[in-house]
Amino acid sequence: MTRNGLSLDTLLAQGGHFVDRETGAVVPPIQPTTTFARNDRYEVTDYIYSRNANPTGAHVEAVLAKLEGAEDALAFSSGMAAVAAFFDSLGAGDHVVAPRVMYHGVADLLRRLADRRGVEVSFFDATGADALEAAIRPGQTSVVWIETCVNPTWDVIDIRTAAKVAHNAGAVLGVDATATPPVTLRALECGADIVFHSATKYLAGHSDLLAGVLATGAMNERWQEIQAARTRMGGVLGAFEAWLLLRGMRTLHLRYERQADNALAIARHFESHTGIEAVLYPGLESHPGHEIARQQMTGSFGAMLSLLIAGGAKAAKRVATRTRLFLPATSLGGVESLIEHRASVEGPLSAVPSNLLRLSVGIERADDLIADLEQALA
Ligand SMILES: *Cc1c(COP(=O)(O)O)cnc(C)c1O
């Protein structure tokens, strides 16, 4: 539900309930202008220059803020542009805590901040009960960054506990919720201060645009700094991509539901397959994070899962080259199913098991997808 009682599905379907006052158009226009004229008193009106903010971006941001139950949202030219703006204010002496297994691009950025700016970073084991708390340095830790579920092992981190631990230490909690869009998880309501999505993935949903989003629970100094960082670094989302993102989001709830149903069917089917050591999917009752996932996700358990292939890295790579429907490509959240040998993609610093195949499940028929994996494993 949004604050005014509208269900998220309805909000999404209507693209924020848009009607153009002048023309009656039910789809917002793309406003490509880079600059905005002042009024006849030489005052700035709503906009100045499109690197600061632009009307098409503002429309998608308003919808995103409602989806997250946020005070405000900012759209960026990619997920990593958003992450870079989030961490931009950190300097020497600041301490960041993040999971050891996490999206490798963010881990790379944190290592870079450590090398070049003197930011101290502690990586914790997301499967350890009190590992997050143990990694905290009260008074010094300024940011706790978590993912849920953790990519690509899909361990579940309890956002409510993480928020308590972060806030007790005087730190902010940022949540990368890329794998769990707001139709299934609303991180701010679980206590996060800022929620992040690579909108490239589920929100856009069609593997045809790059975008990122940050949404905040409070309009504070940190948020102003993030906004200023976007302007300074030029990471704003372009008007065409903003328009396309809004278009994609209109079907988010339908896509996600189908994708999650397919993922659960695949997970159940392969749970006891002889070619597979383990299926990592929080929707399985056997998954250690199942209970927490049930508490913080509303409805489905997501459409990302990983298979640990019997026979090691070589066998795993062989399976990834033998699927016909699952495309051997990186990324996730699109309507087409993808398969990936994650350790190959992440390189030598990867903390991911070498026999892990990550599946991003699309909206195809579950039977077709299962048959495809069966023949690849045979
Ligand atoms: C893809 C991804 C990112 C980075 O987003 P881009 O849009 O590729 O810049 C960050 N976190 C997670 C979990 C992702 O999957």
Give the pLDDT confidence of 16-56 residue by residue, as tens digits.
888 999 999 999 999 999 999 999 999 999 999 999 999 99
pLDDT of residue 69: 97
> How confident is the model over 262-285, as a mean pLDDT?
97
Percentages helix, strand, coil for the chain, rounded to the nearest 5? 35, 15, 45
Atom of ligand 1 nearest to the CA of 178: 13
Buried b (16+ CB within 10 A) or exposed e, 308-329: bbeeeeeebbebbebbebbbee
Annotated active-site residue 51? The verdict is: yes
Strand order in the sheet with 276-280: 276-280, 304-309, 356-360, 338-341
Sign of the dihedral defined by the CA atoms of residues 124, 340, 264, 12, in that order: positive
Residue type, 112: R
pLDDT of residue 175: 98
Catalytic annotation, pick one of 66, 186, 201, 317: 201
Residue 87 falls in which region: left (phi positive, over 0), alpha (psi -120 to 50) or beta: alpha
Ligand 1 center from residue 199 Cα (angstroms):
8
Atom of ligand 1 nearest to the CA of 211: 7
Model confidence at 249: pLDDT above 90: yes
Q: Does ligand 1 lie within 6 Å of residue 210's CB atom?
A: yes
In whole angstroms, give the CA distance from residue 229 to residue 75: 12
In whole angstroms, give the CA distance from residue 47 to residue 68: 24
Give the pLDDT confidence of 184-219 residue by residue, as tens digits.
999 999 999 999 999 999 999 999 999 999 999 999
Ligand 1 center from residue 225 Cα (angstroms):
22
Q: Are 157 and 177 in contact (CB under 8 A)?
A: no
The alpha helices in the chain, defined as continuous H runs, are 8-13, 55-68, 79-87, 104-117, 131-135, 159-168, 221-233, 239-249, 252-270, 290-296, 312-322, 342-346, 366-377
Q: Pseudo-torsion of CA 38, 42, 45, 49, nearest 10°? A: 50
Q: Does ligand 1 lie within 6 Å of residue 201's CB atom?
A: yes
Give the pLDDT confidence of 333-358 residue by residue, as tens digits.
999 999 999 999 888 888 899 999 99
Catalytic annotation, pick one of 94, 155, 176, 372: 176
> How confident is the model over 65-84, as a mean pLDDT?
98
Residue nearest to atom 8 of ligand 1 (CA): 79
Annotated active-site residue 201? The verdict is: yes
Please report which confidence band the pLDDT of residue 5 belongs to, taking 50, 70 and 90 as the band edges.
Answer: confident
Q: Does ligand 1 lie within 6 Å of residue 198's CB atom?
A: yes
Q: Residue 291: how many CB atoms within 10 A of its CB?
A: 13
CA dist list (Å): 197 to 1, 174, 175, 332, 355: 19, 11, 9, 12, 27
Residues 6 or more apart whose CB falls under 8 angstroms from that of 180 comprise: 148, 149, 297, 302
Ligand 1 center from residue 116 Cα (angstroms):
22
Residue 328 falls in which region: left (phi positive, over 0), alpha (psi -120 to 50) or beta: beta
Strand partners, 96: 121, 143
Ligand 1 center from residue 362 Cα (angstroms):
17
In whole angstroms, give the CA distance from residue 231 to residue 51: 6
Give the pLDDT confidence of 95-116 residue by residue, as tens digits.
999 999 999 999 999 999 999 9
Ligand 1 center from residue 318 Cα (angstroms):
26
Q: Does ligand 1 lie within 6 Å of residue 178's CB atom?
A: yes
Model confidence at 299: pLDDT above 90: no
In whole angstroms, give the CA distance from residue 354 to residue 352: 6
Residue nearest to atom 11 of ligand 1 (CA): 103
Q: Does ligand 1 lie within 6 Å of residue 77's CB atom?
A: no
Q: Are 159 and 192 in contact (CB under 8 A)?
A: yes
pLDDT of residue 2: 73
Read off the tokens for 98.
């993040």
Q: Are 177 and 213 in contact (CB under 8 A)?
A: no
pLDDT of residue 4: 72
Catalytic annotation, pick one of 66, 72, 103, 158: 103
Residue nearest to atom 2 of ligand 1 (CA): 198
